[in-house]
Amino acid sequence: MTEQRSDIAIVGGGPVGGLAACTLARAGYAVTLFERGVSPVPNAHANDTRGYALAAGTVQFLDDLGYWAPLAERATAIRSIVVSRRGGLGRVHLNAADHGRHALGQVVPAVALEPMLDAACREAGVDVRYESTLAGVGEVTDGRRELCIHGTEGEGAWSARLILAADGIGSPTRKALGLPVNRHRYAADALVFDVQPARPHNGQAFERFTDEGPLALLPQADGRMNVVWVAPPEACERRLELNGAERLQELQARFGWTLGRLQPAGRVVRFPLERVHAPEPVAERALLLGNAAHSVHPVAGQGLNLSLRDVATLLGALRERHGQGGAPRFVADPGASDTLAAYAQARRNDVNGVVAATDFLARGMLHAAGLRGHALGSGMMAVDRLRPARDRLARAAMGLGALPRHTARQLTRPDVGSKA
């Protein structure tokens, strides 16, 4: 079996694997992306109403890379966020204008983001292998890690200086590498669906904490709102069996009438909720990205943004530290141990902080009654009234941490606007 070679082999596509592939190819690496799905067909998912909530920091990074322009016309700005508690005092209102920004984030349709990244991979020269899955990970020989891929023509042998695992929460690559992971299955699932409110959302998002779990409504195109409704599995099961009107009646009772009457606007999807965290995302010549490294509760909508910051941090870690000005130069060996160690160190505080914060919000707000409830309500009112506290919360929501903006802007400019 003839071995094929790449600088970087990425197992798993989607937003994380796709963005890593096109970005690293533009940095000068020979990149192969192994995606289990089939080659995309134009308009194959025209009825897909999924939306990705991208924080302002994520939008900023995509814009620096030149990838925001083809998405902007189809995106819906999140101009404000209202955080509240059902049956209790306390409300926090975050407004982008208060922080000198047009939006706290953007909701981008999946049917826009995924084709854009596919076009970006083609434009950057990524070798995309569809209908390909990992069959096994081999040893490290002469600075290259071996892997076996099962594709349309059977099994093939590959090697790369660096393997990136972006193959999701169950990550076969993570298992093959033997990297340990901490897991916690929440006593909750999420129902995700769209609704059409009677009143315009005006770019306002809502996060409401209830006795069952958090309930979020995100603004979408055409006046729709995307609902993420977290509740115990038995409650989700029962609500799935209801007709649309009955389900919306229960939702209305929990959310309220701020947006007027809510009407169903699409199919309902159920997701089990689990926290997954690999405390050490690095193995020899291999690295975990996205949900393969960390999957968090959907409260506060931080999961995808945290994952895309993995890509941004990796880009920065691969840049050579000496030399200033001009086009950035990147290390010749992307899988060197010191480079991967630097990446892991750079990501540790952000990942640990988001994992801990989302876990607290998911579990700590469930039984906020009595004195604890009064304390939480008082705390929320204080945050809403104290500008420094509100600014800090808004900055966290926008994900405006340190990103390699100069490096991203200096990459060879893409030309994907007409292909998305």
pLDDT digits (tens, 9 = 90+) for 297-323: 999 889 999 999 999 999 999 998 765
pLDDT > 50? residue 369: no
- HSE of 283, CA atoms in CB hemisphere, 13 A: 23
Spatial distance between the Cα atoms of 417 and 120, rounded to a whole number of angstroms: 9
Spatial distance between the Cα atoms of 42 and 374, rounded to a whole number of angstroms: 53
pLDDT > 70? residue 292: yes
Residue-level pLDDT at 387: 65
Spatial distance between the Cα atoms of 225 and 199, rounded to a whole number of angstroms: 11
> At 134, which helix (H) or strand (E)?
strand 133-141
Residue-level pLDDT at 418: 41
Task: List the domain boundaries for the chain.
Answer: 3-183+274-410
Spatial distance between the Cα atoms of 381 and 161, rounded to a whole number of angstroms: 52
* Between 414 and 305, residue with greater pLDDT: 305
Both tokens assigned to 184: 């916690």
Give the SS3 label for residue 315. Answer: helix
pLDDT > 60? residue 284: yes
> Residues 303, 296: contact at Cβ < 8 Å?
yes
Residue in this structure with the two tokens 């204008």, named with its chain if needed: 97
Spatial distance between the Cα atoms of 83 and 28, rounded to a whole number of angstroms: 44
> Residues 308, 212: contact at Cβ < 8 Å?
no
Tell the CATH topology of 3-183+274-410. Answer: FAD/NAD(P)-binding domain (3.50.50)
* Between 116 and 90, residue with greater pLDDT: 116
Contacts of 41 (CB under 8 A, 6+ apart): none
Residue-level pLDDT at 363: 81
> What rounded mean pLDDT belongs to the chain?
89
> Residues 150, 135: contact at Cβ < 8 Å?
yes
* Between 338 and 44, residue with greater pLDDT: 338
Averaged pLDDT, 177-194: 96
> Residues 156, 148: contact at Cβ < 8 Å?
yes
Q: What is the DSSP string of 208-254?
A: EE-SS-EEEEEE-GGG-EEEEEEE-HHHHHHHHTS-HHHHHHHHHHH
Give the SS3 label for residue 283. Answer: strand
Query: Would strands 80-85 and 133-141 be described as parallel, antiparallel, or unpaired?
Result: unpaired
Residue in this structure with the two tokens 């796709």, named with its chain if needed: 18
Query: Would strands 269-277 and 182-197 be described as parallel, antiparallel, or unpaired?
Result: antiparallel
Q: Global pTM?
A: 0.91
Spatial distance between the Cα atoms of 316 and 65, rounded to a whole number of angstroms: 13
Q: What angle do the packed helices 14-26 and 110-124 form, to 10 degrees?
A: 30
Instruction: Tell whether the torsion through CA atoms of 394, 315, 415 and 111 is positive or negative.
Output: negative
Residue-level pLDDT at 378: 55
> Residues 90, 378: contact at Cβ < 8 Å?
yes
Spatial distance between the Cα atoms of 143 and 102, rounded to a whole number of angstroms: 47
Of 63, 50, 49, nearest to 103 (Cα)? 63
Both tokens assigned to 276: 């997954």
Residue-level pLDDT at 420: 35
Query: Which tens digit of pLDDT belongs to each residue from 19-29?
Result: 999 999 999 99
Spatial distance between the Cα atoms of 327 and 312, rounded to a whole number of angstroms: 17
Spatial distance between the Cα atoms of 169 and 291, rounded to a whole number of angstroms: 5
Contacts of 174 (CB under 8 A, 6+ apart): 165, 167, 181, 278, 288, 292, 293
> Residues 145, 138: contact at Cβ < 8 Å?
yes
Query: % helix / strand / coil in the chain, to the nearest 5?
Result: 40, 30, 30
pLDDT > 70? residue 239: yes
Count the residues in the chain.
Answer: 420
Both tokens assigned to 385: 């009234």
CA 80 from chain centre, in angstroms, equals: 20
